[in-house]
Structures are given as C-alpha cells and as structure tokens.
Amino acid sequence: MQPIYKTIGESMAGQNRARLAVYRTHGDTIAASPINLSVPLHQGGFLGGYLGRYGHSREAEEGKLIGERLPDRLDVFTPIARHPFNPFGLIGWTTYVVTEEDMTDLSLLSADGRTTIWDRELVRYVELYGPQRGDNPAPPTTTPPTIPTKPADPAPDFEPAYDRLRAGTNTLSAKLRTLPAKGGGTWLLMLRELKVILDGAVEAARELEP
C-alpha cells in the first residue's frame, strides 16, 4: 500500500474502516461516539485528549468490547506495521513504532458502532502479516504419526504333525510285515486299513507346509 498515513488509526479511518468509537457503558450496553483522530490522545492531558479523540470520556466506559483479547503491541502489531507489504499504508513503516495511542485506537475504533475494527478487520491482518506469516512463514511443527507395529506371529508348532506322521509310518511298516503271501479277503481288508493310514500321513505332511 502507498505510504500516506501517519498512524494505524488514521489508516483505518482513511480507508473508511473506522468512523466511530464503540465501548461498553456502566449499564452494560454498547454505545458509540464520533471520533476525531486529529486530536492526539494526550492533548491537554490524557482525559482531555481521550474525550476529544473518541467523543466520550474515559469515565463513561465500563470496559471495552475487545476485553483482554487485543494482542501485545510489540510482539504482534509491530511486525505487521513493518511488514514489507506495508498493509496499513504508513509513512516510514520500516521503522514504525506502535504506540499506546495506536493500541487505544485498535481497542475502540469501529465501522458500524457494534464491533471493533479488531474483530472486523485486524484479525485478518494478523493472519496475513503477523509474526512468522507473509513473506517468511515458518514451517509448521508436526510430530510424525505413530505407526502401530504388528506383533510378530508366533513360531508354528510342527511337533504334533511330526508325531502324527511318525505314528502313521510306524503303523504302515508294522502292517506290511504282517501281510500274508496270499488271501484275497485278508488283502482287501488290509489295503483298506493301509489307505486310512496313508491318508492320515498325507494330511500330517500337508500341515508341515509353510
């Protein structure tokens, strides 16, 4: 922005973003008064300058609408005022010093008489031009996600299958030694038994496959 304003409040008023001062009264209602930013805050003493600048006396205020939400002037607003883009259009912005008058303006000035320029405008300025924003954004700090590890599968227990296989082969060997040289019916019966034994041995061998 072209550097044409002397203060932040003047910048807001010059851009038609501030034309009133808004505050909370002792009756807990919101009131607004006309501003005259040509009057310095401390002209004729603080109280006199306050009345002349904001159109109401300091004693008329119960509090400010912004409460305690206005950030620190040095940590937040000075980097914004000195940002290379000169978002406030300030004269001499590279060395601009944010003053008490600036902060009082930011806590009171309003465009609509209901909300402060902080809530209406300047939150966006902080997001765009605040510390570690704008030209030199800091990389976000992230914690790598924790990837759950799957517990290792227990080692397979092949011993029962080996036992079955050994038992089947032992039984097969014993049956073969008892087979008669001849005899149709006996042979048929023995072959059936052998089939059962072999089936069991094959099943046990399959259990050993990975």
Q: pLDDT digit string (tens) for 111-159? A: 888 888 888 888 888 888 877 644 444 444 445 556 566 666 666 666 7
> In sequence order, what are the residues at sequence separation of 6 or more whose Cβ sits closer than 8 angstroms to the Cβ of residue 11?
5, 88, 89, 90
> In sequence order, what are the residues at sequence separation of 6 or more whose Cβ sits closer than 8 angstroms to the Cβ of residue 65?
22, 23, 24, 30, 115, 116, 119
| 92 contacts 3 by C-beta, under 8 angstroms | yes
- pTM reported for the whole predicted model: 0.58
Question: Does the pLDDT at position 199 exceed 70?
Answer: yes
Tell me the pLDDT tens digit for each residue of 73-103. Answer: 667 888 889 999 999 999 999 999 998 899 8
* Rounded Cα gap, residues 123 and 8, in angstroms: 14
> In sequence order, what are the residues at sequence separation of 6 or more whose Cβ sits closer than 8 angstroms to the Cβ of residue 56?
21, 23, 31, 33
Closest to 35 measured CA to CA, from 66, 13, 59: 13
Of the listed ranges 13-27, 118-132, 173-187, the least confidently predicted one is 173-187
| 142 contacts 134 by C-beta, under 8 angstroms | no
pLDDT of residue 107: 87
Tell me the pLDDT tens digit for each residue of 35-66. Answer: 999 998 888 777 788 999 999 998 999 888 87
CA 143, 129, 42, 119 torsion: positive or negative? Answer: negative
Q: What is the DSSP letter of 153?
A: P
| 5 contacts 86 by C-beta, under 8 angstroms | no
Of the two residues 181 and 96, the one the predictor is more confident about is: 96
The DSSP-derived string for 163-175 is HHHHHHHHHHHHH
pLDDT of residue 76: 81
